[in-house]
Amino acid sequence: MKMNTTPVIPPTRIAFVGGYEPRRCGIATFTHDICEAVAKTVPKAECIAGAVNDKADGYKYPPRVRFEILEKDLDSYRRAADFLNFNKTEILCLQHEFGIYGGAAGSHVLALLKEVRMPVVTTLHTVLQEPNPAQRKVMEELIMRSDRLVVMAHKGAEILRDTYGVTDSQVDVIPHGIPDIPFTDSEQSKAQFGLVGRKVLLTFGLLGPGKGIEYAIEALPEIVRHHPNVVYLVLGATHPHLVAREGESYRLGLERLAEDRGLKDHVIFYNRFVSLAELTEFIGATDIYLTPYLNEAQITSGTLAYVFGAGKAVVSTPYWHAQELLGEGRGMLVPFRDPHGIAKAVRQYFDDSTLLEQTQTVAYQLGRDMIWSAAAGKYLESFQRARAQRKAASRMALAERTLASSPYSLPPLRLDHIVRMSDGTGIFQHAIFNVPNFHEGYCTDDNARAFILCNLLEEPSLLDHLATGYLAFLAAAMNYHSGRFCNFMSHGRQWLEVAGSEDSHARALWALGVGARRTPNTGHRLLCVQLFEHGLPSVESFTSPRAWAFSLLGIHEYLGKFPNKTEAVATGEVLAEKLVKLWQNHATEDWPWFESSVTYDNARLCQALMMSGGRIHNPEALEIGLKSLRWLASIQKAQAGHFRPIGSNGFFVKDGARADFDQQPVEAQAMVSACLEAYRITHEPFWADEAKRAFEWFLGRNDLELPLYDSTTGGCGDGLHDDRVNANQGAESSLAFHLSHAEMSQAAHLISPSHHFSL
């Protein structure tokens, strides 16, 4: 039989997307190294990189980086897809880790994958065996939109098969690449560090609590008793995200622990992010490498691969990558959080020099299959499989980019006006045009809304400096004797009442529930819990249906963090039953509503019952919530098809004429929230369309075809009159827009890719 000897032609335009050096994270280092390795293996290929930035000003990238993606900016992912398509890229190699992309569970990266027109090979740096719903949805679509999947351990392929139903034929197992470091005796490298005659233990990488270094330090006293010349070198800077959030508290805690255990002469902290050349020198001086990580579900460790491939003995906890790499005597595995186990394994190596040398030799020999040139060759094979599986589609023609096929674009996030309206006390109620109105002072209602916004933003740090002030305002508003919140405060910081309205109290509870569940700030969370629990008992005596609804929304959030809080559960059931009875007393076939009039924040009643019905498994409450919201949507849709909220100039009384003006931004915001919740529950495209319709009211799809949102200031007009937009940009209105924007952005991962409405 005649053999086909046609040579395989490698791709000539290859793009790598992920973090990229000089960004300091493992994904950035990996993307840089694999891109460079492939470029060296195929010198004629044009290898380019797209760098994902975790900060607005980016980094000073090398020429290899041809485009940048701002992590939280959804449109920048689409622009990246355009760049790749129009430059006729033949292969996209995507590095995936949930934490490096914006959106819920990193869903923004899907906007890139939906629009690229070349084969995609995705390297999965994390494969979760038990993903949450958002992570599962993102992973399933990532799998669907990738031609090949690369994992670095066989355990990853096993999880893909068992958890996500991926066939083995779609997966390539390619070990983490490593630099080609010479095999040397550690004594030759110790002199430059002043460690001659010392036995060196090493842990390196970005520091964080999950590294388990405290357990290695706890093991040292036992090791030192038998080998007094041991020194433990902890090499690497604290993870920059941890520094931004908590400072150096973790590292300082480790240093104090070492001092308390009498180890000051046996522990060295080298607080720097070292270059590859420097790292090579440190590895050369190492006798035993320690990876006391705390989480079993770690499928990849670049640091483990580097040191193992350099021919060093490793003592490690049995996370997945370590189990696979160090099994069958190639290293030593010890239990998690077990200082004695670490000490016993280290002593076993130091007590038996023959065992130590044998382990090092075997590791180095196996590592030759992991060096970057070998990894590059395997990636090129994966690229060829991807091209063979899918005949590369031509780039999308401009004629095909109709509105029906294009993703829905949100306006860029601009929080200037929220910042402008805030001071050290809180956020001002009102504005004269776009200038804060000091005369009207502050209110709990708006500070509650502002605090909710801080916790809904995909990048909370954008308003981090203001979130503390908004929460402090809520704390000051609480009267611990009465258990009630005040509402109005003068510019001179004087409360203008003993207790605020029921609605303002309930909005404060809502904000505190959101904070208790969502804030990453421990102090904020503790204060939210304290205030929520003080304010909760009052609401059962309230008579305002909106106050019931706002309280239910807060209870839903609070129970999302503390599901077994019996008082909150019981109060939620009481309030939900009150709304159900209100419906039963007023609703008819032609007036399926809770009251004899439709007034303000109307969709919140529906939303509260939907959420409560789902949480307490009350089908009647859920059905009422959906039925009433569907009717509300029908009466708030103009004949031309746009959203027309009930006007505040008279509202809508049963058997009477409805008021079409003045239309309020909070009505559009409430409708966006409620419809997105209905979509989460039912997955009916109708609700996604209704959310979009309500949001576009802010942007000019309304009765006057005038935008209320001012993209030049970041503020929103106070309402739509019959002849104009209210030019004042107060807190309630501006927050209504930004809260809606945040919810629409977060909903991106929920909308089915088969439905034409896609964020």
For 554-566, the pLDDT digits (tens) are 999 999 999 999 9
Q: Same CATH fold, 416-749 and 13-177+374-400?
A: no
Res. 578: pLDDT tops 70:
yes
pLDDT tier for residue 589 given thresholds of 50, 70 and 90: very high
Spatial distance between the Cα atoms of 427 and 421, rounded to a whole number of angstroms: 6
Res. 14: pLDDT tops 50:
yes
Write down the pLDDT at residue 748: 67
Superfamily classification of domain 13-177+374-400? Glycogen Phosphorylase B; (3.40.50.2000)
Least-confidence region, from 149-158, 176-185, 383-392, 615-624: 383-392
CB 303 within 8 A of CB 286: no
- If one compares 470 and 105, the residue with the highest pLDDT of the two is 470
347, amino acid identity: R
pLDDT digits (tens, 9 = 90+) for 186-218: 888 898 899 999 999 999 888 888 899 999 999
User: Which percentage of the chain shows pLDDT scores above 90?
Assistant: 80
Least-confidence region, from 161-170, 242-251, 277-286, 630-639: 242-251
User: Which percentage of the chain shows pLDDT scores above 70?
Assistant: 94
Residues paired with residue 150 on neighbouring β-strands, in sequence order: 123, 172
pLDDT tier for residue 409 given thresholds of 50, 70 and 90: confident
Res. 4: pLDDT tops 80:
no
Hey, what CATH topology would domain 416-749 get? Glycosyltransferase (1.50.10)
Q: Which CATH architecture has domain 186-367?
A: 3-Layer(aba) Sandwich (3.40)
CB 742 within 8 A of CB 390: no
**What number of residues does the chain have?**
759
Least-confidence region, from 286-300, 400-414, 679-693, 706-720: 400-414
Q: Give me the DSSP letters along 354-377.
A: HHHHHHHHHHHHHHTTTBHHHHHH
pLDDT tier for residue 758 given thresholds of 50, 70 and 90: very low
Give, for 160, the enclosing helix (H) or strand (E).
Answer: helix 154-164
Give exposure, 529-548, as e/b (b: 16+ Cβ within 10 Å). Answer: bebbbbbbebbeebeebbbb
| Cβ neighbourhood burial of 477 (10 Å; 0-12, 13-18, 19+) | buried
- If one compares 416 and 410, the residue with the highest pLDDT of the two is 416
CB 442 within 8 A of CB 425: yes
Res. 2: pLDDT tops 70:
no
Mean pLDDT throughout 368-376?
A: 95
pLDDT digits (tens, 9 = 90+) for 491-506: 999 999 999 999 999 9
pLDDT tier for residue 396 given thresholds of 50, 70 and 90: very low
Write down the pLDDT at residue 750: 58
pLDDT tier for residue 131 given thresholds of 50, 70 and 90: very high
What are the domain boundaries of the chain?
A: 13-177+374-400, 186-367, 416-749
Res. 257: pLDDT tops 80:
yes
Res. 168: pLDDT tops 70:
yes
Spatial distance between the Cα atoms of 157 and 166, rounded to a whole number of angstroms: 8
User: Token pair 């529930």 is at which residue?
Assistant: 513
- If one compares 290 and 404, the residue with the highest pLDDT of the two is 290
Res. 164: pLDDT tops 70:
yes
Least-confidence region, from 183-187, 527-531, 657-661: 183-187
Write down the pLDDT at residue 392: 39
DSSP 704: T
Mean pLDDT throughout 678-688?
A: 94
pLDDT tier for residue 408 given thresholds of 50, 70 and 90: low
Question: Among 103-112, 428-437, 608-617, which range has the highest average pLDDT?
Answer: 428-437
Res. 3: pLDDT tops 60:
no
pLDDT tier for residue 406 given thresholds of 50, 70 and 90: low
Helix (H, G, I), strand (E, B) or coil at 658: strand
Res. 664: pLDDT tops 90:
yes
Res. 533: pLDDT tops 60:
yes
Spatial distance between the Cα atoms of 623 and 678, rounded to a whole number of angstroms: 11
Res. 407: pLDDT tops 80:
no
Average pLDDT over the chain, rounded to an integer:
92
Spatial distance between the Cα atoms of 32 and 48, rounded to a whole number of angstroms: 10
Write down the pLDDT at residue 403: 46
Least-confidence region, from 62-71, 201-210, 340-349, 459-468: 459-468
Mean pLDDT throughout 592-608?
A: 97
Q: Which of 535, 596, 530 is nearest to 562 (CA)?
A: 530
pLDDT digits (tens, 9 = 90+) for 35-60: 999 999 999 999 999 999 998 889 99
Write down the pLDDT at residue 397: 43
Going across the sheet that includes 46-53, the strands are 65-70, 46-53, 13-18, 91-96, 120-124, 148-151, 171-173
DSSP 120: E
Write down the pLDDT at residue 271: 85
pLDDT tier for residue 279 given thresholds of 50, 70 and 90: confident
Write down the pLDDT at residue 104: 81
Least-confidence region, from 193-202, 402-411, 438-447, 576-585: 402-411
pLDDT tier for residue 6 given thresholds of 50, 70 and 90: very low
- If one compares 752 and 573, the residue with the highest pLDDT of the two is 573
Write down the pLDDT at residue 74: 85
Report strand pairing: 91-96 vs 13-18: parallel
Alpha-carbon dihedral sign for residues 479, 482, 488, 490: negative
pLDDT tier for residue 341 given thresholds of 50, 70 and 90: very high
Res. 393: pLDDT tops 70:
no
